A and B are shown apart, each in its own frame.
Chain A
């Protein structure tokens, strides 16, 4: 297949939107790992809860209410999860954390399957986001008729806004300053009288809330079936590793990189299937800390 300018533009946009959903999930993962040091395999299940909540509210009350309700509900679920279970594993080995969160993910997945069935629940795109955008109207270098789904471009914008908001929270607020300091040395902060545990609990809630945003906007793309969470979890984890454990910038960069790689290798199944693992191996060989992994953090 020839790589014309049209094909290149379509692949670029596709890579961007594939990366966007990965970034939204990986962002929550890396935030939780970066602050709490918890390897949260249940994060895919949080996305799963989000899409089931979103499709249920969307089908009953409309997309607007799903958008307003789902992220805060996920925030509360995140807090309850952290208080009820995760905090008990802060001082346990990573293997214990992986086992308990992986087990939790399976329980949540089977619970949702029991409630909603294994079959897909159609998640319709709201009318204002439905349809296609005539790219050739905006990009004069394209030849002929080139279109792209409007919703997927909205997903890219949502992803950019969410990333910007998280960066602003961590870099422009006092709360963020404490969190970043806590990521470096939580013990020292506690000596200084800062209740870092309460802030970390909020960070866990924030990570879950980002999964909620991903669910509302990603649901119509990934659709709603019990397998979706686990299928997104593995690439998202690899993105956290490639980007550098706990690095938000790294997660964004790696997410886009993986999205692009998947998009541009689409016609070649044998490369397309392994590309994400190939990139992981190469990057970890060249930069063991990941793309933007900081020296001294989680080492």
Chain B
């Protein structure tokens, strides 16, 4: 017995047979694969927000202004979201152009995409209530929307706290991805700083370096950052700043502020207003004769830093004729991504999409693609997949979702209002003057401070 035993021992000690090596290799391969295999299931036990997703469907929350001042923009955002859901479930649209992409048109991670909608009422409290309802009652895995920075920031804080990823809709304040940035918030749209950087050289080129600007500014987060950025970059071009008046958001008649501008030495009026504010202030300025007036021996010029087609339409093409501003995207862009999106949207709804629709559509696809890339809905992994994600095929050229502040860095459009005679359709109010490269509008995210916070909410 002893011999047999020692024989066996000797056999093992003597070395490995070919069969032993093959067996060991197989076991080793399975062992090596095992940790990765289990990693995906390991976080299944760690519930964050509405993760894990149960059942065969995954619900997205579209929280847009369906009433209030931005209801038209909200309606266009909702159209885009519905189109994105259609494409995610059935293919088509930018699924064919987005690169790199793991989207197949078979939902997200094999689950059919459904959605619920909410009304932000263009009001921070209402937006929070609506988002909370979606998260707690409808169990959405992601919230997206908003047509105002104050509201986007309010939702971003709430979602971050509850462990739900918030893909910002239309928000242009520096604060959204600056001092108020959150680990769970992502912005595809550009910001006020990028507007100032892109627009100021064009203004200086067009109107000269010896200019005196007067700002009228909407008195909330976006207006403040827009004014600061425009002042910073126009002054870098050699302009001086004559004054700035903060105007209450609900102002309908701007005459008391325009009187102050008339009484100053300013020869450029910069309207840091958006939506109905901009429509009214620009119309009032035209009524005050400011577009036909001379100051300091120069034509008095009006500038609208942030443009949208809906605003241009509201103000009327006679009033916006020649006025310069910036946009994040325009339906006249000729890249493949823009073309397929415009076609899909126009086929579905009968008219081209707005920039609000574009950013909301892209945000939904980017979130879905990040889930596919991460192979899970687990928020920390989806966030990591979005961070520093570089992509093309979604309009505006190559784009980076910067990891350090969750701000997309992409090309910016400088736009100019078209004259009534130059318009070709009821949607043709603005023409692209310049496509300013992403590297030109890029900036150090540290200048705005803020902290993203942890991947797993406290």
Q: Please list the residues of chain A having a beta carbon within 8 angstroms of any beta carbon in chain B.
A: 1, 4, 6-7, 10-11, 13-15, 17-18, 21, 110, 113, 117-122, 124-125, 131-132, 146-149, 151-152, 220-223, 225, 227-228, 231-232, 262-263, 266-267, 269, 272-273
Residues of chain B lying within 8 A (CB to CB) of residue A125: 287
Which of B97-105, B130-138, B157-165, B315-323 contacts the other chain? B315-323
Q: A132 CA to B71 CA in the complex, in Å? A: 34
Task: Please tell me if the beta carbons of B289 and A120 are within 8 angstroms of each other in the complex.
Answer: no
Residues of chain A lying within 8 A (CB to CB) of residue B68: 118, 227
Q: Please list the residues of chain B having a beta carbon within 8 angstroms of any beta carbon in chain A.
A: 67-72, 75, 219, 243, 245-248, 250, 252-253, 255-257, 259-260, 262-264, 276, 279-280, 283-284, 287-289, 293, 310, 313-316, 318-319
Residues of chain B lying within 8 A (CB to CB) of residue A232: 252
Most buried by B among A11, A119, A151, A269: A119
Within the complex, the shortest CB–CB distance from B202 to chain A, in Å, comes to: 26
Q: A131 CA to B289 CA in the complex, in Å? A: 6
Task: Please tell me if the beta carbons of B314 and A1 are within 8 angstroms of each other in the complex.
Answer: no
Q: A17 CA to B284 CA in the complex, in Å? A: 13
CB contact under 8 A between A21 and B256, given known A119-B72, A147-B262: no
CB contact under 8 A between A118 and B71, given known A21-B253, A223-B252, A269-B248: yes
CB contact under 8 A between A10 and B313, given known A149-B287, A151-B287: no
Residues of chain A lying within 8 A (CB to CB) of residue B72: 117-119
Number of A-B contacts (CB under 8 A): 119
CB contact under 8 A between A122 and B316, given known A227-B69, A228-B252: yes
Residues of chain A lying within 8 A (CB to CB) of residue B283: 122, 223
Task: Please tell me if the beta carbons of A262 and B256 are within 8 angstroms of each other in the complex.
Answer: yes
The 8 residue pairs across chains A and B that have the minimum distance between CB atoms: A122-B316, A120-B314, A118-B71, A132-B289, A266-B256, A269-B246, A10-B259, A119-B72
Chain A to chain B contacts (Cβ below 8 Å), 9 pairs: A1-B260, A119-B314, A149-B289, A222-B280, A223-B276, A223-B280, A227-B276, A269-B248, A272-B248
Residue of A nearest to B71 (CB): A118
* Further 17 A-B residue pairs, CB within 8 A, beyond A119-B310, A120-B276: A4-B263, A13-B259, A118-B67, A119-B72, A119-B313, A120-B280, A122-B319, A147-B262, A147-B293, A222-B253, A223-B252, A223-B276, A225-B276, A227-B69, A263-B259, A269-B246, A273-B219
Q: A113 CA to B75 CA in the complex, in Å? A: 12
Q: A117 CA to B354 CA in the complex, in Å? A: 15
Q: A152 CA to B250 CA in the complex, in Å? A: 20
CB contact under 8 A between A122 and B314, given known A149-B288, A227-B276: yes
Task: Please tell me if the beta carbons of B256 and A113 are within 8 angstroms of each other in the complex.
Answer: no
Residue of A nearest to B279 (CB): A120
Within the complex, the shortest CB–CB distance from B70 to chain A, in Å, comes to: 7
Within the complex, the shortest CB–CB distance from A11 to chain B, in Å, comes to: 6
CB contact under 8 A between A152 and B248, given known A11-B256, A266-B257: no
Task: Please tell me if the beta carbons of A269 and B247 are within 8 angstroms of each other in the complex.
Answer: yes
CB contact under 8 A between A147 and B289, given known A4-B263, A10-B262, A122-B316: yes
Residues of chain A lying within 8 A (CB to CB) of residue B246: 269
Residues of chain B lying within 8 A (CB to CB) of residue A273: 219, 248
Residues of chain B lying within 8 A (CB to CB) of residue A7: 259-260, 263
Within the complex, the shortest CB–CB distance from A190 to chain B, in Å, comes to: 42
Task: Please tell me if the beta carbons of B67 and A267 are within 8 angstroms of each other in the complex.
Answer: no
Residues of chain B lying within 8 A (CB to CB) of residue A10: 259, 262-263
Q: A13 CA to B313 CA in the complex, in Å? A: 30
Within the complex, the shortest CB–CB distance from B357 to chain A, in Å, comes to: 14
Task: Please tell me if the beta carbons of A220 and B287 are within 8 angstroms of each other in the complex.
Answer: yes
Task: Please tell me if the beta carbons of B279 and A110 are within 8 angstroms of each other in the complex.
Answer: no
Q: A30 CA to B219 CA in the complex, in Å? A: 32
Residue of B nearest to A227 (CB): B69
Q: A225 CA to B314 CA in the complex, in Å? A: 9
Residues of chain A lying within 8 A (CB to CB) of residue B315: 120, 122
Q: A232 CA to B253 CA in the complex, in Å? A: 10
CB contact under 8 A between A231 and B250, given known A119-B313, A122-B314, A269-B219: yes
Q: A146 CA to B259 CA in the complex, in Å? A: 10
Task: Please tell me if the beta carbons of B260 and A267 are within 8 angstroms of each other in the complex.
Answer: yes
Within the complex, the shortest CB–CB distance from A214 to chain B, in Å, comes to: 13
Within the complex, the shortest CB–CB distance from A292 to chain B, in Å, comes to: 25
Residue of A nearest to B278 (CB): A120
Residues of chain B lying within 8 A (CB to CB) of residue A1: 243, 260, 263-264
Residues of chain B lying within 8 A (CB to CB) of residue A231: 250, 252
Residues of chain A lying within 8 A (CB to CB) of residue B288: 132, 147-149
Within the complex, the shortest CB–CB distance from B258 to chain A, in Å, comes to: 8
Q: A117 CA to B70 CA in the complex, in Å? A: 10
Q: A21 CA to B284 CA in the complex, in Å? A: 15
Residue of B nearest to A106 (CB): B67
Most buried by B among A110, A118, A124, A267: A118
Task: Please tell me if the beta carbons of A118 and B255 are within 8 angstroms of each other in the complex.
Answer: no
Q: Which of B71, B243, B276, B289 contacts A113 (CB 8 A)?
A: B71
Task: Please tell me if the beta carbons of B255 and A17 are within 8 angstroms of each other in the complex.
Answer: yes
Residues of chain B lying within 8 A (CB to CB) of residue A17: 255
Q: A222 CA to B284 CA in the complex, in Å? A: 9
Q: A17 CA to B314 CA in the complex, in Å? A: 24
Residues of chain B lying within 8 A (CB to CB) of residue A263: 255-256, 259
CB contact under 8 A between A118 and B70, given known A11-B256, A149-B287, A273-B248: yes
Residue of A nearest to B248 (CB): A273
Within the complex, the shortest CB–CB distance from B282 to chain A, in Å, comes to: 10
Task: Please tell me if the beta carbons of B252 and A267 are within 8 angstroms of each other in the complex.
Answer: no
Residue of A nearest to B69 (CB): A227
Residues of chain A lying within 8 A (CB to CB) of residue B247: 269
Most buried by B among A113, A120, A121: A120
Within the complex, the shortest CB–CB distance from B170 to chain A, in Å, comes to: 14
Q: A125 CA to B289 CA in the complex, in Å? A: 12
Within the complex, the shortest CB–CB distance from A103 to chain B, in Å, comes to: 15
CB contact under 8 A between A269 and B245, given known A117-B72, A147-B262, A262-B256: yes
Residue of A nearest to B255 (CB): A14
Residues of chain B lying within 8 A (CB to CB) of residue A272: 248, 256
Q: A269 CA to B227 CA in the complex, in Å? A: 15
Task: Please tell me if the beta carbons of B252 and A18 are within 8 angstroms of each other in the complex.
Answer: no
Q: A267 CA to B215 CA in the complex, in Å? A: 12
Residues of chain B lying within 8 A (CB to CB) of residue A13: 259
Q: Which of B245, B256, B276, B279 contacts A14 (CB 8 A)?
A: B256
CB contact under 8 A between A266 and B245, given known A147-B262, A222-B252: yes
